[in-house]
Every structure is written in C-alpha cells, then in structure tokens.
Structure 1
Amino acid sequence: MSYAHLDAYTRLLRSAREAAATGQIWPESPRRLITASWRRSLEAGIDPEGKSAPLVLDRSSITDAREAHPLQSLIPLLAKTLCGLAEQTGHIMIVTDGDGRVLWREGNHTVLRRADQIGLADGHHWAENSVGTNGIGTALATGRPVHVYSQEHLMRVLHIWSCSAAPITDPDSGRVIGCVDVSGTSRNLHPATVALVAATAKLAETQLALRMYERDVRLRRRYESLRGRPGVLLSSTGRVISGDPSGRLGERVKVPAPTLPGTRMVLRDGSTALLESFSGGFLLRPAPSAAPQALTLSFLGEGTPSAKLGDLDRPLSLRHAEILTLLALHPHGLTAEQLSFHLYGDYGNPVTIRAEIHRLRAQLGNAIAAKPYRLACPLEADFLDLRRHVAAGDAGALARAYAGPLLVRSESPEIRRERDELEAQVRACLLRHGSLDHLWAYAQTANGRDDYEILERLAALPSTDARSAVARSRLLL
C-alpha cells in the first residue's frame, strides 16, 4: 500500500473510530476483520481512551506459567527466527499463552522501553476483552494470522503501533495454546510481516507435532508390551492412539478432570469404560458388566412427565417424553429420520432429533443406545401397563393404573394415534368388565369426567349414593 493510500485509509479509520466510540453511524467502515473486532471490543466495554493493558501476572506467577507452558522449550527457536528481524528493524517479538497473557518478549531495547508504557510487557493481558482490537487479541479471537495497522487499534494510545500476530495450536490437544507477535511503530512494520509470523507459528506447530509423535511412539511401545494389548490407548489429552481400529470412539475422548483411578466413563457409543493412568497417558478398559438400572416412565395424566432411573426421579420436557414414548413403543429401535417423522411428520429434521437425543442421554446415560436409537435397559411404563391390563381384561388393575390420557399435550401424529387407541380400549374394557367403583374412578379423569355413557350408569345408583348425584349434575351440564 502506498503512503498516499495509507494516509487515505488512516483518515477513514479516524472518522470511523470517532463514530464508533460515540455510538454514531459509521460514515465508512474499515476492512471487515477490523469492523468485527471493533464491535466485539465495544461490546466488551473497552474504553478507546484507555492507557495500558492490565497486569494480570506477577513475577513469580510468570515464572510458573513459563515453566508449565508447552512453548517453553521452543522459545529459542522462535527467537532465532524472528528476533534478528526485530533487532534490525526496530521491532519486538512477543509470545503469549492461549489467553493472551504475555510470557516472553525480546527485541530492540528502545522499542521495549516504549512498549513498557502501554503494557506490552511480561504479565500483561492482550486479549480483545482487555485492550480491544490488537494483533494478539484479534488473532486469538479469529483463530488466524492478522496484521493490525496503527489506527485500526481501537485504543488511541496504540495508534503509533502496528503488529502482526498468529495463533499457535497444539496438535495434541487441538487447543490454541499461544500467540506469536511482532510489534513496532506503524510506518516501519510492513504488512507482509504477517506472512513471516504465520510461518513461524507453523514452525512451532510442526515442532510440537514432532514431539507429540515421539511421545506416541514411546507410549505405543509400552502399550504393545502388555499381554493381549487390553483396552484403548489415549494420550494425556484424550487423543486416541491405539486399540480402536474401527474408529468407534472418534479421534478424541473427553477425559474428565481430575482423573481418579478407575474413573467410570460413558463413551459416545453408549458403552461404559474404566479410565486408568498409563505411562503419561491413559488406558480405557471395558467396565465390568453390571445389571442395568430399570427405567420407569410416568406419562399418563396432566402432570409433568417424569422418568425414574434407579433411585433418581427426573422431570422431562414434552419433547424428551415423546422420544422415550416412541422408543418404548418400538423396542427394536428407530433411526433419527424415523423419530423425526413420527414426531413432526414430513416437516421433521433429523438434526434436531440427534441434538435432543444428545441432551436426553446426558440425563439418562447409557439407558439409550444408538444405531438405531433404542432403550437398552429394563423398562416399566404406565401406558404399557395399561396395554397389558386391557389385554387381560383386568378392569380393577386398569382403574387403579389409569391416571389420564398419554402425554395429553403432545401433537405428535404417532403419539396422538396411540393415545386415542389406548383411551378407546380403556373405556371399552371398563364398560365391559368394570364395576361401578371402577367406573367412578374413571369418571374422575379428564376424559371420563364428561363421558355420557359412564355417567348414565353412575346416575342409576340409588339416590342416597353421592356418586349418583354427581353423575346426574354432570349430565345436566
């Protein structure tokens, strides 16, 4: 960019920044990356007139953070790559952790002293939510290399600075663990510097990947020395290294923290495993089989549907109750597409069903198996009990068990059909086999309250029977 174009862009930035700071409509916006960063920064409450990045780590805390950081051993490599350039051109190199806290810096001594004035120094925090738009914070916020020029910074005090920064991702954990940055005065730092900084970040990631591979090799050798190679071998971050040839666990298992010996985990396929420490990594071994807990569903009547698993009672949303009802009615299982159709008809979306199943499994664990979705535990359900009582013609048990219609608020086509059929069968069984006591119990439910034929039979009771008076009064309504 020529100086003429640079001056024009600077004027644009100045007017846009003043408008943004005062809440006015921007006359013309800077490039999209900066516009988005300004908005995030203003929403975070950044003061454009702020003077410095905040200090968040004291000297002893910085020492501990450096020693524990995976980039500690790579700082000489990063310095060798960038500090020669920084010294010659009047710039400084900064390396932060994944939160944007400065852990290391090197470079031109004159520039380092100027950097101290704005907190571009060890222990200071350069995330966007601390100082607004800047190379370090914006690179971490976007997950990609960025160059931030002069007045593209939201804070006025940073306008004499420009910076190029790139995030560094740990290939083992998959997390952004740091950021490398070159900063200097605005006219001296060429925008092409960002390419060199990005290449340096990639170099660091390559070194991390090489060391990860060497650790994997050592860990795999110890694993292969075990008789029968039991279990699945994980890295310390939960990355699957060996023992899962079918890929059923995916690339990574979420390891709980803290990890205690024999930690029991429910895996993505619904199976249960024990997590054990092993030579700096972990082993997942199949958990001893235990009698599964029974799942009890209470879905009749107008109250909140609930599920009981073992000793724990859980209230359920209507959607989760509908899914469990359908799985109970189809013991061989249903796909996400079939569940979606039964719940929503032709307008269903299997993606929505998968998300709901995920939430439901968070409550009920391995009670729900996958591929296809099905109930994988002993099941008791009040509406299934009704079916059995109807089939046996047991009006007494039916009257005691019937609490009202099945999921009365459900609009699912499949559940509405089941609800209507069940209601018709309950009513017919009571009329055919039930005593007056059984009919009276049914008359206290939502559907029985105004049932003409039921009330007629009760009205025929002697006039001294209070039930007769109630039935006659309802018939008159």
Structure 2
Amino acid sequence: MSAGGPVAKAPVDVTRLAAVDAARAARLLDEVRAATLAGRRTRLTPRPVIGQSWERVRRSGVDPEHDVRAGLLTREELERRRAASPLRHVLPVLREGLLSVADVAHHIMVVADADGRVLWREGHPSVLRRADGLGFELGADWREDVVGTNGVGTPAVVRRPVQVFAAEHFVRSHTTWTCTGAPVTDPRDGRLLGVVDVSGPLRTMHPATLAWVDSVAKLAEARLRELHLASLERLRAVAAPMLARLEGRAAVVDRDGWTAAVAGMPYAPRIALPKSPSPGPGWLPALGVCTLEPVADGWLVRAGAEPDPDDGARIVLDLTGPRRWTVAVTGSAGSWTHGLSPRHAELLYLLAAAPAGRTAAELAGEVFGDPARTVTVRAEMSRIRRYLGAFLDHRPYRFGADTEVRVLLPDDPRDLLPHSTAPTVLRGRGTPPGA
C-alpha cells in the first residue's frame, strides 16, 4: 500500500503474540494499521487475509475513521428472512456449541445471513449493549464493503474462518473489539448460507476461539446434511408407489431439485429446476422437454424424449459479484440460470480461460497446487456436468466447440473470485502468484 513500494519484513503473528500478551498485540496492530493506512514505511505488515481485506475495503470507499450505520431491517423483513433461512434449523446446535461459553467469557453469538444481515444475536447482556454502540444490532448490514473488515463480512468473502483481532478491523471504532467468524455453507452444493460469529471486547478473546467457532460451524453443516437426508427419505416413501404406476422417464425431487427417486432413467443427485418452478410443461437442462406436477414437499418430473445436445448454445459465466456467481445458458430449447458454489465458479473460470481444455491433473495443480488430487477434481467436474451436461466435453475438460462462452468480470479485476488462490485467477486479478 505504500507509495514507496513494499518495505515490510513480515506479517504480524497475531495468534502467538495475543496468546501471550493481548494488550501488547493490540498496540502493535494499532501501529501497523495506522502506518499501513497512511502509506508509511513499516517493518511489519498485516496478515495476508487482513491486508487483502483492507485493500478491498479501501476500493469500496469505506472511511476508516468513521462508522457507517446502514439502515436496519424492519421487524417484518427480519422475521421474513429468519423464516426463509436454513440457519433457523441449526440454531440449537449453534447455541449449544457457543452460547454457554460465550456468556461466561463475556462474548456474544451473532448469526448473519449470506447478505451480511444480522438475523440472531444472543449472549452476555453487557456485551450486547456494547455491540449496540457499534451498530452490531439485529437487522444491521455487516458486509465487508459496508462496514469494513470484520468477523461477519470478511469470512463471507474469503469463504473460510477468520478472526479479526483489535486493530485488524478497518474502521477505528471497531478496534477495541475482536470478532471470530466462520461461514456456514449448504452441505448439498456449497452455497453460502451465512456466517456464525463470536464477538466481544478485546480483553475477553483468545486465539483458540477461531478453531472453536469453526468446529461449531461444521457441526451445524453436518446437522443440515442430516436434515436433508431425512427429508429425502420421507419424500422417497411417497415417491416409490407413485413412480411404480408410471411409464417412461420420471423422477420425484424436493423443492430444490434434489432427487428422492427415479424411474426409467439414471439416478442423478439433483435435477436443476427453474428459479420459480410452476406446474405444467417446461424445459430442464438435464432432461429437455418435461412436465412438472406438485407432490408433497416436491415435484414429480415427467420427461419427454431424450434431449439432443444443443448446437450453438450461448453460455454466460457471471463472476461480477463479490459473493455470488451464476452460469446462464441460452439455446434453442430455452434459457436457464444456475447459481455456482465458489469451487464451481473457480473451475468454470479456469476452463473459460483455456479454450483448448485442461486435464484433471492440470486443474488439480491450478486449484490445489497438487496435480495428484485428480479424484477431487473429477468429483467436482461430475457435479458440474449434472447441470451443464452436453455443453462440456472431457478428456480434456472444456466447453463444447459449438458453444459460445462469455465471461462477465468485476469492474475492478482485483475483486475477481476473492476466495481463490489459483494462479490463473491471481493473474486475472493482476496479482503475481505467491504475492
């Protein structure tokens, strides 16, 4: 960030220093923050995850010297979001894993949705009052590009657990606070559901909080997986006798397209449905022309003739958003859009950047830095092929020769897939690999 070029020696080792002397760690971080934001020479730098966040926040126009209080959600909108959030099903897991310790240690537990809106907030009363003073209230917007580096917005961007210790916060008024957040993702498709965060005054926090919060977030994801499997089992009991009476290709799926049972066709874990499915004839990417009929907690999908590969299709890979990405397909049979997980967005970008294609080993080397991890790559590409199907070739993996592919990128290249460390993505950001 310094106009004179990089002069720092090493990032601050917050974890080790805070475990020994939290007050000294806070003073050192305050010096690093002040020097870095002023562009002055300093012998130490912020940790990479923090320094990269500060760069994003500066580009967003957040003022480090002034609070930003985005408008709170209305009570009606807050309740609507709570009712729609899958995180409501795992509140008991989060409370059991976090609240008892948080209350004793003078922390609070915060659960935010994928948009960074605080949906639930519980914990020690005095800390809740202090959080009110920071604008950390129910319905508040704590996205990184709104309030700066923090334990809700930053984990949502980088898609991994982050502890933001004291002056690692970008906004000065937050620097007496420490937040530790972990993303909670949908175990079915990797979609971000929200962030669980434990926050409190600087003196009450410990570096081990990061592992604790991450573990509880993973327990919540495991519970969501159990609930999903149980719901499919219930739907399967309804689907089996129904499909036994039908001829031709058919499937029963839940409201999100996850398959409970099939007849006359290969099993696929998920059938991509329209964003707002409705009864009647339609077109689905995996099946072609078909008919949807509502059943209990899902849909009966009755397929027509086998679909042919669609020549001359157009694919638009939209990577403009900081947290959400999509692939849209337009062909002779219709149009559809599919939301992408961080890994699928990364893999499709890599394929778009290499029209001649990439082998599984090449993709593994790009994504994981290990060409031997081909099993993982093949599993992910198999999942991608479930919704892109005929539009992707393999051996090597690539978009079909008759498919027009367009990639929409962020206005600022540095905002491209901020979670990714793949060398091709780093070059797309203008960041040398290893920097």
Secondary structure in 2 aligned to 1:181? strand
Q: 1:277–1:168: structure 2 CA closer, same or farther, 3 Å change rule? A: same
Residue identity opposite 1:257 in structure 2? K
Residue identity opposite 2:276 in structure 1? P
Secondary structure in 1 aligned to 2:203? coil
Residue identity opposite 1:128 in structure 2? E
- State which of 270, 274, 282 in structure 2 corresponds to 1:252: 270
Deviations 1:390-419 (A, max 9, x none): xxxxxxxxxxxxxxxxxxxxxxxxxxxxxx
Match of 1:237 in 2: 256
Q: 1:188–1:293: structure 2 CA closer, same or farther, 3 Å change rule? A: closer
Q: Report the identity percentage.
A: 35
Structure with more of its chain in helix, by fraction: 1
- Structure with the larger RCO, 1 or 2 (CA within 8 Å, 6+ apart): 2
Q: 1:273–1:182: structure 2 CA closer, same or farther, 3 Å change rule? A: same
How many Å apart are 1:190 and its aligned residue? 0.5
**Matches of 2:51 and 2:24 in 1, distance apart?**
17
**Matches of 1:25 and 1:240 in 2, distance apart?**
58
Deviations 1:233-283 (A, max 9, x none): 32211223332897685x433321221212422424x74333333322223
**Matches of 2:405 and 2:87 in 1, distance apart?**
40
Secondary structure in 1 aligned to 2:110? strand
**Matches of 1:27 and 1:119 in 2, distance apart?**
34
Q: Is the 8 A contact 1:164 1:191 kept in 2?
A: no
Q: 1:130–1:107: structure 2 CA closer, same or farther, 3 Å change rule? A: same
**Matches of 1:289 and 1:131 in 2, distance apart?**
51
How many Å apart are 1:219 and its aligned residue? 0.8
How many Å apart are 1:180 and its aligned residue? 1.1
**Matches of 1:219 and 1:35 in 2, distance apart?**
48
Q: 1:228–1:244: structure 2 CA closer, same or farther, 3 Å change rule? A: closer
Does residue 138 of structure 2 align to residue 116 of structure 1? no
Unmatched 5+ stretches in structure 1:
296-307, 311-335, 338-348, 362-477
Scaled by the length of structure 2, what TM-score is found? 0.63
- State which of 264, 282, 286 in structure 1 corresponds to 2:299: 282
**Matches of 2:310 and 2:200 in 1, distance apart?**
64
How many Å apart are 1:77 and its aligned residue? 3.4
- State which of 60, 64, 74 in structure 2 corresponds to 1:44: 60
How many Å apart are 1:5 and its aligned residue? 6.4
Does residue 404 of structure 2 align to residue 359 of structure 1? yes
Scaled by the length of structure 1, what TM-score is found? 0.58
How many Å apart are 1:112 and its aligned residue? 0.7
How many Å apart are 1:181 and its aligned residue? 0.9
Residue identity opposite 2:216 in structure 1? T
Secondary structure in 2 aligned to 1:135? coil
Task: Write the mapping of 1:44-193 to structure 2, written as runs, cut at 5 A.
Answer: 44-172=60-188, 174-193=190-209
Q: Is the 8 A contact 1:172 1:237 kept in 2?
A: no
Does residue 289 of structure 2 align to residue 272 of structure 1? yes
Q: Please identify, of 125-134 and 12-21, the stretch whose mean Cα deviation from structure 2 is larger.
A: 12-21
Q: Is the 8 A contact 2:36 2:45 kept in 1?
A: no
Unmatched 5+ stretches in structure 2:
1-15, 313-330, 334-355, 358-393, 407-435
Secondary structure in 1 aligned to 2:138? coil
Q: Is the 8 A contact 2:150 2:179 kept in 1?
A: yes
Work out which of the two has the higher radius of gyration on C-alpha atoms and give 1 or 2: 1
Q: 1:360–1:106: structure 2 CA closer, same or farther, 3 Å change rule? A: closer
Q: Is the 8 A contact 2:65 2:171 kept in 1?
A: yes
Match of 2:5 in 1: none
How many Å apart are 1:117 and its aligned residue? 0.8
Q: Please identify, of 21-30 and 50-59, the stretch whose mean Cα deviation from structure 2 is larger.
A: 21-30
**Matches of 1:99 and 1:244 in 2, distance apart?**
39
Q: 1:292–1:156: structure 2 CA closer, same or farther, 3 Å change rule? A: closer
Deviations 1:104-143 (A, max 9, x none): 1111111111100111110001111111111111111111
Q: Is the 8 A contact 1:55 1:119 kept in 2?
A: no
How many Å apart are 1:72 and its aligned residue? 2.1
Structure with more of its chain in strand, by fraction: 2
Task: Write the mapping of 1:311-326 to structure 2, written as runs, cut at 5 A.
Answer: none
**Matches of 2:264 and 2:38 in 1, distance apart?**
59
Q: 1:354–1:152: structure 2 CA closer, same or farther, 3 Å change rule? A: same
Q: 1:292–1:14: structure 2 CA closer, same or farther, 3 Å change rule? A: closer
